[in-house]
Structure 1
């Protein structure tokens, strides 16, 4: 492991710690215990998003081990965005579970109208757009050094898959930001529905990867 990898892992651990601290103090009675358990779903969802980002960067580091100036800059930029992004992430998850559960799950962040929800969705999506863009940049950096890193066909296919996935995520997040701000006074708060297309991106990426692997296998057989 390089020092930048250790630093990024520590930064992600700190971001998760910030999520834990935001839950509340340790319960001192039965009622407080029940209140604390109601915050678990939003914490779990926030934790899952953070781990998705961390696992992608960890996988990138393990597969390619690129440690040049551009990669270091992008990694530091990712850490910066994540540490800022952790609070909008937690707030929108709290608000989402609060709304869907008809106030069964608590939220300390309350809004007075749908326009404010739309702005929060835009802020959350802007952060995710930057994260997706950075992840895309890291994988494009590897793609530009295919010969230098001596990547085999499988590694090149996996790089193309990550580029497709994170490029698609960046486009979705950008669309959500635009929709939330343009329709802020009406239906902007529903812009997050666009993220329901995420499984489609993963499906298309998997199909594309299988097709590339099949083509490479056929070429090897012919040779």
Structure 2
């Protein structure tokens, strides 16, 4: 299991200096791995090899769709893995939030595959509103005007839900910060993750709003904001982290160089 392998071979902590409190793979995480594996299985194009060139091209387009969806699901899995390693929580709130996350992931698989399949098809010279099935039949993708908007509402709802659940999970860890004994750097990282997940959810909200107001194209283009927004956030949070690390280093150095306090004698 990938999760067990990472735990066994990782240092107790990560590159950000966050101490790992979850050092064993729990049954909750094992269930999560099974659900993620099932979700990835649903992305597979076809178990039957193509027999015609048209079927081959459908499989090729399906491969790129599978790759994009797999990358997104893997990033969700990696975030969940890191959360459990950092905080090691298994209380009731964690169980329910994780269960809702897994439910959304399984529900989100087909809308995710449909949207990425549509995008990849357009990039590879798709025939407008037409799609070619594996048997060569050409069918319309959308049969009504508002179906594209509905598609983006479903996709946006799933996108928002995933990151809102992560925001709630990080918020739950923040509420338990004293019990977890988070140090100042770990508290900074936790707050930073809350901001980041809420920004992702905000992009989903904006996409839904634009889809309702203008149409599916404008709603879909909204996700192009993810790269610049997350890049800017990374620069800002990285600068804040470096300032915090420098301040903590100075305080540690000052504490080491401070002269020892003379013992006080009791008054006569």
TM-score by length of 1: 0.89
Higher helix share: 1
Aligned twin of 2:191: 160
3-state DSSP of counterpart to 1:39: helix
Aligned twin of 2:237: 208
CA spacing shift, 1:218–1:96, aligned 2, 3 Å:
same
3-state DSSP of counterpart to 2:154: helix
Deviation at 1:34, TM superposition (A): 4.4
* Mapped pair 1:47 → 2:78: no
Deviation at 1:37, TM superposition (A): 2.1
Matches within 5 A, 1:136-215: 136-183=167-214, 187-206=215-234, 207-215=236-244
TM-score by length of 2: 0.75
Q: Distance in 1 between matches of 2:190 and 2:229?
A: 15
CA spacing shift, 1:107–1:177, aligned 2, 3 Å:
farther
CA contact (8 A) 2:50 2:59 kept: no
Deviation string for 1:40-83 (max 9, x for gaps)? 11111111111111111111011111111111100000000111
Aligned twin of 1:27: 49
CA contact (8 A) 2:50 2:56 kept: yes
CA contact (8 A) 1:157 1:213 kept: no
Once structures 1 and 2 are overlaid, which stretch shifts more, 207-216 or 171-180? 207-216
Q: Distance in 2 between matches of 1:149 and 1:107?
A: 54
Deviation string for 1:151-197 (max 9, x for gaps)? 122322221221111110011101111211232xxx33321211122
Which one has a bigger Cα radius of gyration?
A: 2
Instruction: Pick 1 or 2: higher relative contact order, CA cutoff 8 A, min separation 6.
Output: 1
CA contact (8 A) 1:129 1:170 kept: yes
RMSD: 2.1
CA contact (8 A) 1:139 1:159 kept: yes
* Mapped pair 1:217 → 2:240: no
CA contact (8 A) 1:161 1:209 kept: no
Aligned twin of 1:11: 35
Q: Distance in 2 between matches of 1:81 and 1:198?
A: 20
